[in-house]
Amino acid sequence: MATSLVGQEGALSMRFPLTIDPESRRLFTGILVRSVVILLLLSCDSLTVAEQNNQNREDRMKHNSNKNPAVTGRIPDSEIPKTNVEWRKRLTAEQFEIARRKGTERAFSGKYWNTKTPGTYRCICCGEPLFRSGEKFESGCGWPSFYAPIDAKKENTKGNVIAEHVDRSLAAIPGFGIRTEVTCRRCGAHLGHVFNDGPPPTGLRYCINSASITLDPEAQSNGSKDEKDTSKSQ
């Protein structure tokens, strides 16, 4: 039996030699090198395509931003779009989904949720001033929060620039119930919701999507510039 096995192994060795002749080794090495080079080139092409896609996305956002006059100020009533087709041309995809289709951005993902820059927050759709940074507070919810709109008065803490609507979209989900949606009264842009768990003096928390607003920062006061000039002269 042992002799038979040895004979079989010898026959296998003759059919499939364990050693590779130099010519075959060079051929195999060449194929391997070419395969590695091709894989590297494909990887580089994939990275280039991904980078180009990211650049195209940034260019589209910048292009849409440049087409939206509300970013720079309050636009006239005659320039407010009337159809979704017009809004799509003016807003970014995220802004359109949230401001015109009542979407919601993820918590802690918006541009202004943790912003402390002094200024005025205006509607991203029509440029209407809505909130001041002085009424902004840290609520811990992950969205920009304000305790009053810009035109709130002691006798009318809700002001007139914000409109309220009953929202039953999540009423069937435990923990949500019926909510109060807030929109820009002028153009109807969806802003977010208002809750009765805010700080004094109103006790309200306007929970607003960053994509629905744009911040107009306050310019430096002349006093600070004068102080700098005075310090230089001394």
Condensed to tens digits (0 to 9), the pLDDT of residues 15-43 reads 545 566 777 777 777 788 777 777 777 76
Residues with catalytic annotation?
Answer: 207
User: Where is pLDDT greater, at 220 or 196?
Assistant: 196
Mean pLDDT of the chain: 82
For the chain, give every domain's residue range.
77-217
What amino acid is encoded at 34 in this protein?
A: R
Of the listed ranges 4-18, 139-153, 203-217, the one predicted with least confidence: 4-18
Amino acid 227: pLDDT: 36
Question: Is the predicted pLDDT of residue 97 greater than 70, yes or no?
Answer: yes
What amino acid is encoded at 28 in this protein?
A: F
Ordered DSSP codes for the chain: -HHHHHHHHHHHHHHS-SS--HHHHHHHHHHHHHHHHHHHHHHHHHHHHHHHHHHHHHHHHHHHHHH-GGGTSPPPGGGS--SHHHHHHHS-HHHIIIIIT---PPTT-STTTT----EEEEETTT--EEEEGGGEE--SSSS-EESS-TT-BTTBTT-SSEEEEEE-TTTTSTTT-SEEEEEETTT--EEEEEES---TTT--EEEE-GGGEEEEEPPPPHHHHHHHHHHHH-
User: Which pLDDT band, with edges at 50, 70 and 90, does 220 fall under?
Assistant: very low
Among residues 85, 96, 109, 61, the alpha carbon closest in space to that of 189 is found at 96
State the CATH class of domain 77-217: mainly beta
Amino acid 43: pLDDT: 65
CA distances from 88 to 64, 82, 93, 100, 190 (A): 9, 11, 7, 9, 15
82-90 mean pLDDT: 96
> What pTM value is reported for the model?
0.67
User: Which pLDDT band, with edges at 50, 70 and 90, does 45 fall under?
Assistant: low
Question: Is the predicted pLDDT of residue 230 greater than 80, yes or no?
Answer: no
Query: Which positions ≥6 away from 209 have C-beta within 8 Å?
Result: 98, 99, 103, 104, 105, 110, 143, 144, 190, 191, 192
Question: Would strands 145-146 and 205-208 be described as parallel, antiparallel, or unpaired?
Answer: antiparallel
Condensed to tens digits (0 to 9), the pLDDT of residues 61-73 reads 455 556 899 999 9
Amino acid 91: pLDDT: 97
Question: Would strands 119-123 and 190-195 be described as parallel, antiparallel, or unpaired?
Answer: unpaired
CA dihedral 191, 117, 77, 212 (to 10 degrees): -20
Between CA 216 and CA 121 the distance in angstroms is 6
The percent of residues above 90 in pLDDT, for the chain, comes to 60
